[in-house]
């Protein structure tokens, strides 16, 4: 088993020993990135802040199980994503059912670029997506999970994950075109 030489190993070891200063330092190092994940998943500042606190609470509680088999950030990200998914499941996020729609292969993206594309515009469009679309879009495109992983995390089929992502992408394009034309 490969052991990662985590760049924050010393701080993590101090946290394991119960050093509250080290815990605060570790929180400061990762809070912004984890908050961004929480916000993209929850689409609400207050809920994102709650998920962030719960994620760090669980991470600090489980820190003795962290063995440097992966980077600490990846371990914490997994906890954070799982916290958000569980909260969304409790809320009973409704994925739009695919019913009997055929599974479409990925479409060719060539000639599909939109003028004036910016991160802020995409984020604004994401906020308007239905919850199921937004979560899958975020997990796939922003967090780097593949459809097999998303299907396991969300308890859905891979085909559902792919179609939800495709529909989310299409809906974001529509929202952005409407924004561009002032509709």
pLDDT in tens, 11-26: 999 999 999 999 999 9
Q: Please give the model's pTM, rounded to 2 decimal places.
A: 0.68
| CA-closest candidate to residue 50, choices 34, 61, 68 | 34
Report how far apart, in Å, the C-alpha atoms of 123 and of each of 105, 118, 134, 172, 176 are. Answer: 26, 9, 10, 9, 10
Give the residue from 90, 122, 157 where a domain finishes: 90
Same domain, 86 and 99: no
Tens digits of residue pLDDT in 159-183: 999 999 999 999 988 988 888 777 6
Same domain, 98 and 183: yes
Residue 3 lies in a domain: no
Q: How far apart are the first and last CA of the chain?
A: 55
Same domain, 172 and 98: yes
Residue numbers of the domain that contains 76: 9-90
d(CA 176, CA 160): 24
Q: How many domains does the chain have?
A: 2
d(CA 40, CA 141): 11
Residue 126 lies in a domain: yes
User: Are 133 and 62 in contact, with CB atoms under 8 Å apart?
Assistant: no
């Amino acid at each position: 088993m490969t052991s990662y030489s985590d760049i924050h190993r010393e701080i993590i070891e101090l946290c394991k020993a119960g050093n509250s200063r080290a815990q605060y330092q570790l929180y400061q190092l990762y809070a912004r990135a984890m908050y961004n994940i929480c916000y993209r998943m929850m689409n609400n500042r207050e809920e994102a802040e709650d998920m962030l606190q719960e994620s760090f609470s669980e991470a600090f509680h489980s820190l003795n199980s962290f063995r440097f088999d992966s980077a600490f950030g990846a371990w914490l990200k997994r906890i954070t994503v799982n916290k958000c998914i569980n909260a969304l499941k409790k809320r009973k996020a409704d994925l739009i059912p695919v019913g009997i729609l055929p599974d479409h292969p990925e479409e060719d993206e060539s000639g599909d670029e939109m003028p004036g594309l910016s991160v802020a515009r995409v984020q604004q469009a994401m906020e308007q997506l239905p919850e199921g679309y937004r979560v899958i879009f975020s997990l796939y495109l922003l967090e780097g999970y593949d459809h097999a992983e998303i299907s396991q995390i969300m308890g859905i089929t891979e085909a559902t994950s792919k179609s939800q992502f495709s529909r989310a992408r299409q809906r974001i394009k529509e929202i952005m075109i409407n924004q561009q034309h002032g509709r």
